[in-house]
Amino acid sequence: MSTHARGSAAPATRWQALRRMAPALAPPLLFLPILFAPPINHDVAAVLSFSQRWLAGEHLYVDLIDVNPPLIYVLNLIPAALARATGIDGVPALQLCLVALGFWLWYLALRVRDRDREGPVERVLLDVLPGLMVFAAGYDIGQRETLMVAAGFPYILAAARREAGARPRARLTTAVLAGLGFALKPHFLGIPAAVELALLAGRCRRLGWRDGWRETWRDPVPWLMAAVWLAYLASLPLVFPQYLGVVVPLVWSLYLEQGGLTPLEVLLVPRLATAVILLAPLLWIAFRPPWSAPHALPRLLGLAALGALASAMTQHKGWSYHIVPVELLACALATVLGARWLDRAEAWRQPGGAHRAGAVLACLFALYCIEAGEAPWNELGYGKSDIARLTGLLDEYAEGARVLVLSPGISPVYPALNYAHARLTLRTMNMWMLEGAYATCPANGERYREPAEMSRPEFFVYRTVAEDFARAPPAAVVVDSVPGIPWCGAEFSFIAYFSRHPLFAETWSHYRLAETWGRYSFYVRKD
């Protein structure tokens, strides 16, 4: 064969391989338009806004007070800096960073595998499964839970090979990224603990007790992850002392008092209960003997899913992004078990059978996520949403300006503020500190406490909101008529509460009502 013939054959072969993979690649890649479509997740938008304000000179946990530990704000400095350096908006900068991170994690997940030891259907599935673990989170992509799952998946793939004594490529890189992902919330640390204990047990079965322990001690991966966590812990008193001295006491005294569910009630949340019903029989299959190294991946995925379930239950909320990791890991376990069953059934012997079977499994994964999640439904309904309505008002009256928002919620305030390039004047994201202060009715029987009766956190909110409002009156004020505070003889009114402060009352007299819709009222300056 001539050199020209060989040179033209290679691209043709690659093109044919890509064409065969196209149906399996379609499910994860079809989530990309959803990622770029509005609205971005409200919590993700709020964290990005705080990181942008931090980068602009405000002080984290002094001017910007939130319950989230600092790591997520540090990571969001990357898109914030990208936006400032390039002039693009913060939201597109964050979306580009999420896509870049997703494809990097996808690449790492491909590198840590031993493709020769995989069946044909499993090989096709594992080629596309990392993309689903990253992008199928849909509306919740960018939340700490979804970042944890995305960063942890290459680590789980590498762990399955480490149990067999292999040293996967890029295992140290995946360990650092997984360490960062699991460090985003202390609730996540049960997942790597369960995985590493399973590896220790597998090594002891394979090598004997003494040699199994010796191999575990010599493995750099858990030590590297532990070093990441210890460095992060050390940074809290050294770099972020206000988090320990100010925010943690607020969390214990106010945030944890804001309602919550028992672990059983969380388990019975319909979306989580559905995921558990899917997961339960899969765990029975994954944990059956034999427990040899070739069967490690399903076991590790099952343990990770149980760790994610424990994390969701211990957070006592049952919110969607707490549930997404359980769904993603349960779907990953289901498709891996399905791929291995199809390989044993020799489905790959049919022409194109492996690629078709892998594509079907990927589609089932994606369909479950679409059925259970909020995407693409939030995106399709964006034009009629409160976020779009508030964004339009902010564009008209306060684009690029400062806005005071008195609401217990994050949405629709975020991402409307992001889209309108407006900046919240509050030192918190919402009125969560007042919610905690008034979780029960005041002992004196009055609707509002007098300043002398207020706790330090409540007086801080009362004073700083009024003083900041008077010192630099914002272009607009958004008021929520649903305060998120129990009825105590009368409805809690944010305006009535803060108007008891003379600075707030005088400044408020210069505002007029511009529009009301639903539970929100939009005020602008008279002059």
Q: Rounded to 5 degrees, what angle do the CA atoms 460, 461, 464 make?
A: 80
Which helix or strand (DSSP H or E) is residue 174 part of? helix 171-183
Q: Determine which helix (DSSP H) or strand (DSSP E) holds 109, and give its type and residue range.
A: helix 90-111
The answer to whether residue 256 sits within a structural domain is no
Judgement on whether residues 217 and 113 belong to the same structural domain of the protein: yes
Q: Which residues of the chain have pLDDT under 50?
A: 1-9
Is 349 inside any structural domain?
yes
Residues belonging to the chain: 527
Asked whether 156 and 174 are in contact (CB, 8 A), the reply is no
* Residues 495 and 521 reside in one and the same domain: yes
Number of separate domains in the chain: 2
Give me the domain span that covers residue 442: 383-525
Q: How many helices (H) and strands (E) does the chain have?
A: 25, 5
410 lies in the same domain as 444: yes
pTM of the full structure? 0.93
| 395 and 366 assigned to the same domain | no
| Nearby residues of 74 by Cβ (< 8 Å), 6 or more positions away | none
Say if residue 246 is exposed, middle or buried (CB neighbours under 10 Å; 0-12, 13-18, 19+).
middle
Does some domain include residue 343?
Answer: yes
Q: Could you give the CA distance from residue 47 to residue 146 in angstroms, rounded to a whole number?
A: 15
Task: Please report whether residue 365 resides in a domain.
Answer: yes
Whether 347 and 403 map to the same domain: the answer is no
Look at residues 328, 347, 374 and tell me which one is the last residue of a structural domain.
374
* Residues 30 and 172 occupy one common structural domain: yes
8-state DSSP, 489:
S
Structural domain ending residue among the three candidates 374, 405, 428: 374
Strands 511-517, 520-525: parallel, antiparallel or unpaired by DSSP?
A: antiparallel
Q: Are 341 and 285 in contact (CB under 8 A)?
A: no
In this prediction, residue 271 carries a pLDDT of 96
The span from the CA of 286 to the CA of 341, in Å, is: 12
What is the per-residue pLDDT across 56-105, written as a single tens digit (0 to 9) for each? Answer: 999 999 999 999 999 999 999 999 999 999 999 999 999 999 999 999 99
Q: Residue written as tokens 């194109």?
A: 352
497 in any annotated domain: yes
DSSP H or E stretch at residue 105: helix 90-111
Judgement on whether residues 157 and 272 belong to the same structural domain of the protein: yes
In a 10 Å sphere around its CB, with 0-12 CB exposed, 13-18 middle and 19+ buried, how is residue 60 labelled?
buried
Whether residues 428 and 344 fall in one domain? no
Which residue is listed with tokens 């971005």?
A: 40
- Beta-bridge partners for 390: none
Do residues 387 and 370 share a domain?
no
Query: How crowded is the C-beta side of 110, counted as CA atoms within 13 Å?
Result: 10
For residue 352, the model assigns a pLDDT of 78
Do 112 and 28 sit in the same domain of this protein? Answer: yes
442-500 pLDDT, tens per residue?
988 899 999 999 998 899 999 999 999 999 999 999 999 999 999 998 999 999 999 99
Please report where in the chains the tokens 């196209």 appear, as a residue.
22
Domain presence at residue 238: yes
**Residue 484: how many CA atoms within 13 Å on its side-chain side?**
18
Evaluate whether residue 257 is within a structural domain.
Answer: no
Residue 508 makes CB contacts below 8 A (sequence gap 6+) with 469, 495, 498, 499
Query: Would you list the DSSP string of 265-292?
Result: HHHTSHHHHHHHHHHHHHHHHHTSSP-S
Q: Enter the tokens of residue 270.
A: 């319909």
Distance, CA of 185 to CA of 239 (rounded, Å): 18
3-state helix, strand, coil in the chain (%, to 5): 70, 5, 25
- The reply to whether 423 and 353 lie within a common domain is no
Q: Are residues 370 and 298 in the same domain?
A: yes
Structure tokens at 211: 């040699």
Joined tokens for residue 169? 């490529």
**CA distance from start to end of the chain:** 83
CB 43 within 8 A of CB 321: yes
Secondary structure letter of residue 288 according to DSSP: S
pLDDT at 256: 61
Question: In which residue are the tokens 């990208």 written?
Answer: 82
Q: Which of 374, 401, 419 is the last residue of a domain?
A: 374
Q: Is residue 85 part of a domain?
A: yes
Query: In this predicted structure, what is the pLDDT of residue 346?
Result: 86
Q: Is 111:169 a contact under the CB 8 Å cutoff?
A: yes
